[in-house]
Structure 1
């Protein structure tokens, strides 16, 4: 199995996330206080590489037909794992991507607003928000994750270090489902530049394949950066 480029960085991010989001002096009980969530390192999805770097990385990605979906299940990608205290990956992203996010003692977002860049919607309830995997789990499986072990898939599904997780409207996330950019692109073309750069970055970091129609659409979307 090819070792994905982002494996060491993703593993390090998962191990050290508490040091990023919780002060070193904080006790476990203080890690998920009721009230306003601590500000994250990023106000939204981590900034992907520039368009020029994305084009270079896109050219380096292997082009192949999709792998079989035989054996796939979401359970093979353990996600929304605990990051610190009672906070799991979903709650960390909700706090990171939202504004004035209030959490209860179990780290659940109980108030706040979230802007969904896929469809330019502002949401005022966490129940309206999904945490999207930029490269969907099923797409990753078809692109090479079928050869990974569970530890690798867990790191991929909870990767807070790269441009893999983003808070968006539940409606847009479910419309996207597990489709690649040639099958689905954000209705808001204003986000195409960021979306294509992020998609390419994740596939490059994890040494995943792309299809030719996928590559062609990503080239088109990158043109929005110009």
Structure 2
């Protein structure tokens, strides 16, 4: 009976009302009308030094960023991606497939939770792809506890589900964080 229940939970988790496509979540938006889209806003807010902007004040040209995934510093924003801590495809698999376009766009541009979007080295972000903590963790092990804390906070805020493997890995990692 327990195996049947586990199977039903797994099937419910993976039954999606709509297949994932990046376009379902829209692109970066300019929420406050200042010509700086979400990517630029994240770069500005996370720079450890004053940023240098283009002549229109819309695009960040340089600053100083710390990538917690790699434990490295960067000054060229072209080397950075703004990562969705919980990747869009993972969110989609975890319940966002049932959201309307407006809620998906809000998730994709979430500036309310300070770590929902994070500037990181693009190579690290691209190695992560759409994987959850069961399949990927940052190379910087000193960041793992914070990464898990933020992962859970984002999933909780947006009421997203966990796979059994993801939940088990998070619980194992949290045990080491106490």
Q: What TM-score bracket applies, with the shorter chain setting the length?
A: 0.7 to 0.9
Checking the alignment, whether the CA contact within 8 Å between 2:68 and 2:140 is kept in structure 1 is yes
Q: C-alpha displacement at 1:79, in angstroms?
A: 2.9
State the secondary structure of the residue aligned to 1:168: strand
State the secondary structure of the residue aligned to 2:127: helix
Q: C-alpha displacement at 1:103, in angstroms?
A: 1.2
Q: 1:190 to 1:86 in 2, by over 3 A?
A: same
Q: 1:161 to 1:148 in 2, by over 3 A?
A: same
Q: 1:225 to 1:210 in 2, by over 3 A?
A: same
Aligned to 1:117: 68
More deviation in 151-160 or 71-80?
A: 71-80
Higher relative CO (CA 8 A, sep ≥ 6), structure 1 or 2?
1
Aligned CA RMSD, in angstroms, stands at 1.6
**What is the CA deviation profile of residues 151-200 of structure 1, one whole-angstrom value per residue up to 9, with x for unaligned ones?**
00011001111131001000100000000100101111111111111111
- Residues of 2 paired with 1:134 and 1:180: CA distance? 9
Q: C-alpha displacement at 1:123, in angstroms?
A: 1.1
**1:132 maps to 2:80:** no
- Residues of 2 paired with 1:200 and 1:67: CA distance? 22
Aligned to 1:102: 52
Aligned to 2:5: none
Q: 2:112 aligns with which of 153, 161, 164?
A: 161
Aligned to 1:22: none
**1:219 maps to 2:160:** no
Q: 1:209 aligns with which of 148, 161, 167?
A: 161
TM-score normalised by L of structure 2: 0.86
Checking the alignment, whether the CA contact within 8 Å between 1:67 and 1:144 is kept in structure 2 is no
**1:71 maps to 2:19:** yes
- Residues of 1 paired with 2:146 and 2:123: CA distance? 20
Give the unaligned 5+ runs of structure 2: 1-8
Checking the alignment, whether the CA contact within 8 Å between 2:18 and 2:98 is kept in structure 1 is no
Q: 1:106 to 1:197 in 2, by over 3 A?
A: same
Aligned to 2:101: 150
Aligned to 1:92: 41
- Residues of 2 paired with 1:67 and 1:134: CA distance? 23
For this pair of structures, how many residues does the alignment match?
A: 164
Checking the alignment, whether the CA contact within 8 Å between 1:67 and 1:141 is kept in structure 2 is no
- Residues of 2 paired with 1:67 and 1:107: CA distance? 41
